[in-house]
Amino acid sequence: MWKKPWGYREGATIAAGLLLTGILLQGSVGKIDWELLSWPVNIILLLVYIIVLAMVSGLSGRIYLFRWLGSYAAAVTSLAAVVVMTVIMGLIRQTGPQTVSGVAPWLGFSQMLSAWPFALLFTWLITVLGLTAFRHLYPFRWRNIPFLLNHLGLFVAVVAAVLGNADLQRLKMTTVVGKAEWRAYDEAGQQSELPLAIELQHFTIDEYPPKLMLIDNGTGKVLPEGKPEHLLLGSGEQEGQLADWRIRVVRQMAESARVATEDTVKFVAFHSIGATYAVYIEADNRLTGVRREGWVSCGSFLFPYKALRLDEQVSLVMPEREPQRFASDVKLYTQSGRKLEAVIEVNRPLTVEGWKVYQLSYDESKGKWSDISVFELVRDPWLPLVYSGIWMLIAGAVWMFVTASKRKEEQL
C-alpha cells in the first residue's frame, strides 16, 4: 500500500483516518456549532476554500497527493464513505444526545449533520469534486462544458446548502385576530423582531363531513376493532347500517347549541361562536328489535359532545370533524413600507422580501372558531445559489443528452 499509483485501498485508509479523527474531535470538543459560520464568516471561508482549491489544483503536477485527489479512485472512495455515513444517519434517529442512549450520541451519529466524522468525510468529497472540476476547467475546451456544468453545479448546490445552514432562520409566530405581530421565536424560545409584521384578519377551516361510529361502552374503542366502520353524513334525511344497527338520520343541524331540560338534552339552532354539529337519530337493531332515538353531537369548545347509548354494549358517537383545509386572511406590513393582503394556507406559503410564510397551526381547542393562527417564517439567503447549482446540473444533463444524440447520428 502507498505505492504509486494509489488506488482504492489508499482511499479507504484515508476515509478511515478521517473517520477516526472526526470521532476524536467529537469526543474532545463536541459537535460543530454552525452558528459560528454565519455571515460573513461563511462567505470568507468559501472564498478561502476556493483559493486553496485553485492552489492545490495548480500544484497537482508536482505533488502526487494533490493529483490523486482528482482521480477516479479518490472520487469513488470519498463518495462511498459519505454514502455509508448517510445510511447510518437514516438508521439512527436524528434527535439529540440527551434522547438517544448508547454509543451513537458520543460519536455524534444522533446529530449527524453537526458531527465531526460526517463533516470531515463530506469535506473530502467536495474537495475531490472541486479538484475534478478545476482539472477540466483549464485548459478550457468546449467539449468539457457538460462535464463542468454537472460537477460545478453539484459543487455549488452542496456547498451553498451547507454553508447557508448557518444563516437559515426558522421562526414561529403566533397571531391574534385584529392585532399586528412582528415578534417570532426560534426552537430555543429566543425572540426575534422581524422586518415585517402580520395582522390576522380572519381564520377559516373547511371541514370534512361529520360521521357516525359505534364504540364499545367498556373500552371506548371504535367498532369493529381494527377495521372501524362509519356512516358519512350528508344533507337531509339518510339511512345506513353500522353492525347490527340500522341508522336513520331524522334531523341535522350544522350550527346548534346544547340545551339541558329537566329530563333530557336537546339541540336548538345557534348561529354564533362555539356552535356544534348535531343530528337526531333513530336506530333499530335488526336482531333484537330494540329501538333507540336521540341526539348525537361532536361538541365544540363551548358545548360537550353527546352520544346515544344503544344498549349495554355499544353507543353511537360523532367524532370531532377533521379539517380539510385551513387558511388565514392576513395583512402584511414590511419595514420598506409595503402593505399587502394575502391568504396563507397549508402548502401554499407567501413569499415576501426573502421570507416564506407558512400556515402552521391554530387553536385546536376552538377549531374553526379559532381566533389564533400560527405561522412558520423561513429565510434562507443562500437558497438562490443552491437553485443555481441545481439548474447547472439540469443544463449539463440536457447538454450531454443532446451531444450524445448528435454523435450517434454522425456515426450512422
Residues 23 and 113 in one domain: yes
Q: Is 1 a member of any domain?
A: no
Q: Is 2 a member of any domain?
A: no
Residues 123 and 160 in one domain: yes
What DSSP string describes 190-208? -EEEEEEEEEEEEEEEEEP
Determine phi and psi for 33, rounding to 5 degrees.
Answer: -95, 100
Residues 13 and 100 in one domain: yes
Residues 336 and 187 in one domain: yes
71 CB contacts (<8 Å, ≥6 apart)? Answer: 6
Establish how many alpha carbons lie within 13 A of residue 185's alpha carbon, considering only the half-sphere containing its beta carbon.
8
Residues 258 and 314 in one domain: yes
Model pLDDT for residues 376-397, shown as the tens digit of each residue: 999 999 999 999 999 999 999 8
Q: Is 59 a member of any domain?
A: yes
User: Residue 177's closest CA among 300, 368, 330?
Assistant: 330
46 CB contacts (<8 Å, ≥6 apart)? Answer: 159, 163
Long-range contacts of 16-20 (CB under 8 A, 24+ apart): 18/81, 18/117, 18/120, 18/121, 18/124, 19/81, 19/117, 19/120, 19/121
> What's the distance, CA 302 to chain centroid?
33
pLDDT at 87 over 60: yes
What is the distance between the alpha carbons of residues 230 and 220, in angstroms, rounded to a whole number?
15
Tell me what the mean pLDDT of segment 188-207 comes to: 94
* Total number of domains constituting the chain: 3
What is the distance between the alpha carbons of residues 389 and 157, in angstroms, rounded to a whole number?
4
Q: Which domain holds residue 191?
A: 169-206+324-379
Residues 36 and 173 in one domain: no
CB 344 within 8 A of CB 330: yes
Residues 345 and 315 in one domain: no
pTM exceeds cut of 0.75: yes
3-state secondary structure of 257: strand
398 CB contacts (<8 Å, ≥6 apart)? Answer: none
What is the distance between the alpha carbons of residues 184 and 410, in angstroms, rounded to a whole number?
62
Model pLDDT for residues 269-318, shown as the tens digit of each residue: 999 999 999 999 999 999 999 999 999 999 999 999 999 999 999 999 99
CATH of the domain at 181: 2.60.98.10
CB 175 within 8 A of CB 375: yes
If you average pLDDT over every residue of the chain, what do you get? 90
CB 211 within 8 A of CB 276: no
CB 92 within 8 A of CB 2: no
Q: Is 3 a member of any domain?
A: no
Q: Which three cell numbers stand for residue 284?
A: 333499530
> Is residue 230 very low, low, confident or very high in pLDDT (cuts 50, 70, 90)?
very high
Residues 198 and 344 in one domain: yes
